[in-house]
Structure 1
Amino acid sequence: MMCGRFTLFASYEKLLEEFDVEVAIAEELYRESYNIAPSQQVIAIIHDGSKNRMGYLKWGFIPSWSKDEKFASKMINARSETVDEKPSFKQSFYRKRCIIPMDSFYEWKREGNSKIPMRIKMKDDSLFAVAGLWDTWQSPNGAVHTCTILTTTSNKFMSTIHERMPVILPKEHQHTWLNPQIQNRDQLKTLLVPYPSELLTAYPVSDKVNSPKNNGRELIEEVS
């Protein structure tokens, strides 16, 4: 699995400003988190054809045609190399793309028999946008809006930690990715590349992050 935990504790105002959001959930519904895990509700940005909207999607993709939700836990990531071919993701790749804002993500670095949790972030601490897909599934109890995070091969920096990394979209590519009118496969696939190594940094954090039950600021503090 790749990209199974991340953080988002930027202010509500910062999110609206950074991602040109015109329609959003009410501010009191926004919850910052230091340990976002699969099956939770995550903040996402979509483009409705005229403007950017911000709201919550459940992390764990369920295609609209699915008979049940049993696949959701396995569909937290989609490989960018094959995302346009896989029946589960193909329709959303062309029509329902989203951005998932983060200020860092966690990855577990293997050292001998142990796995060390690492926090990966921008060197300048800025917010960043990760490419995702979304869909709406009709459950017996109503509509469920879900998402998945796209991954790619690791850049040189990340490869010392893990062989995969989330697809981070620079500012100049975000509008293209979000625009549902753009359905050119080659144009979209050119955006799904490893982010430049020199802009990222990482450090080890407490293994408290291993449990989604833990969610405090101490999780992002460096440990020796």
Structure 2
Amino acid sequence: MCAQFLVDKILFQKSLSIFSLHLNTIEWKDRILPHSQSPIIEYKNNEYFIELFYFSLVPSWSHDRKPKFATHNARLETVLEKPTWKKPFLKNHCLVPITTFIEPIYEGKFAGNMVKFNLEECIFVPAIFDYWMNKETGEVISSFSILTSEPGEFVRKIGHERSPIFLKQKLKTFENWFDCENNDGKNFIQLLSNRQEPKMSIEIDRPLKKGWEKRK
């Protein structure tokens, strides 16, 4: 899974040239956790935009602002089977910039720690989003879920069983991801299955809380 990540502003700015975008005055917290805001790349009306969306998708049909189940990640293997994910996966795509993602490790030499996976550059990972309206106030919340799959060799060796999906960082690949017209989802599954593992390094973030062994 991916429940915490960082977006370095300098690396993010460098990476925006692929979309011919420049970082504006938006602000976000150093460490992005579920229900906090993150910059995302959205494509609409034939243009790319930088927006701030909430990390943890709130389905449009949800009665509550915060669903009773975790929605910060969507598993690629079941994304077309779950009502929370199916419509956004077919219709609402975005890209999330990540420079570091942070995971708990329960096996191997790093067991018992939260570990930072530091990327050499800002990587855009595929995500899905939805809009939720507060019926009392009319406020509209834009929120997203990062798509995850089985990890590549490096992440697996460190001891984690899930990972964000890393695509080729090419404009054509992103264009294919944003092309939601007349798609039954199978093309997206194929696109997301053709992934890569970027270069990364690791460092210990902090020890896990007491009793972490019970979660192995």
Deviation at 1:176, TM superposition (A): 1.0
Residues 38 and 73, structure 1, Cα contact 8 Å, conserved in 2:
no
Q: Note if 1:165 corresponds to 2:160.
A: no
Which amino acid counterpart does residue 186 of structure 2 have in structure 1? D
Residues 113 and 208, structure 2, Cα contact 8 Å, conserved in 1:
no
Residues 60 and 72, structure 1, Cα contact 8 Å, conserved in 2:
no
Q: Note if 1:144 corresponds to 2:136.
A: no
Moved more, 172-181 or 89-98: 172-181
Deviation at 1:206, TM superposition (A): 3.2
Partner Cα distance (2:163, 2:154) in 1: 10
SS at match of 2:133: strand
Detail structure 1 runs of 4+ shifted over 4 Å in the superposition.
111-114
Which residue does the alignment assign to 1:39?
A: 35
Which residue does the alignment assign to 1:119?
A: 116
RMSD: 2.6
SS at match of 2:58: coil
Q: 1:107 to 1:130 in 2, by over 3 A?
A: same
Aligned with 1:68 (options 57, 64, 68): 64
Which amino acid counterpart does residue 166 of structure 2 have in structure 1? I
Q: 1:19 to 1:106 in 2, by over 3 A?
A: farther
SS at match of 1:66: coil
SS at match of 2:25: helix
Q: 1:19 to 1:30 in 2, by over 3 A?
A: farther
Partner Cα distance (1:72, 1:42) in 2: 21
Residues 155 and 194, structure 1, Cα contact 8 Å, conserved in 2:
no
Aligned with 2:150 (options 147, 150, 153): 153
Partner Cα distance (2:194, 2:69) in 1: 25
Which amino acid counterpart does residue 189 of structure 1 have in structure 2? I
Deviation at 1:31, TM superposition (A): 3.7
Deviation readout 1:59-117 (Å, 9 max, x if unpaired): 11111121222317610000011112211111111110111011121112224795222
* Structure 1 residues not aligned, in runs of 5+: 211-224
Which residue does the alignment assign to 1:175?
A: 175
Partner Cα distance (1:31, 1:164) in 2: 25
SS at match of 1:67: coil
Q: Number of paired residues? A: 202
SS at match of 2:191: coil
Partner Cα distance (1:187, 1:175) in 2: 13
Deviation at 1:19, TM superposition (A): 3.6
Which residue does the alignment assign to 1:57?
A: 53
SS at match of 1:47: strand
SS at match of 1:191: helix
Q: Note if 1:134 corresponds to 2:136.
A: no
Which residue does the alignment assign to 1:186?
A: 186
Partner Cα distance (1:32, 1:71) in 2: 22
SS at match of 2:188: helix
Partner Cα distance (2:193, 2:67) in 1: 26
* Structure 2 residues not aligned, in runs of 5+: 210-216
Deviation at 1:181, TM superposition (A): 2.5
Q: TM-score, normalised by structure 2?
A: 0.82
Which residue does the alignment assign to 2:201?
A: 202
After TM superposition, the structure 1 = structure 2 runs for residues 16-35 of structure 1, keeping only pairs within 5 Å, are: 16-21=16-21, 27-31=24-28, 33=30, 35=31
Partner Cα distance (2:102, 2:37) in 1: 18
Q: TM-score, normalised by structure 1?
A: 0.80
Q: 1:65 to 1:106 in 2, by over 3 A?
A: same
